[in-house]
Amino acid sequence: MASTAQRPSLVRRWEDLPSRAQLAIALPVAIIVLFVIHVTLLNQPLWRGFGYGVFWGVLAAAVILVATRTEKAKRDQQARGRSRSPGSG
């Protein structure tokens, strides 16, 4: 697996942001992308596409936040395990 030093700088910067900042970035992007998908690909009327965009955008942003926290915690745990000396545990 990639260590902290090997992660791309964009991933490190994203993971280092507070949860509120991540939500403030992910939520509008998810809403807009899902709105466009519902209106263009699924042929929904604008008002319904907006409603679906908000509904699914909130869920998508929550999934993004949980996945970010989980991956960061997994990498931090692996880094702590590697930093221990052999036989110390």
Residue-level pLDDT, tens digit, the chain, 89 residues: 555 557 788 988 999 999 999 999 999 999 999 999 999 999 999 999 999 999 999 999 999 999 999 999 998 888 888 777 565 55
**What letter does residue 85 receive in the DSSP assignment?**
P
Give the pTM. Answer: 0.78
| Tokens 């998810």 found at | 30
Nearest to 64 by CA among 32, 24, 6: 24
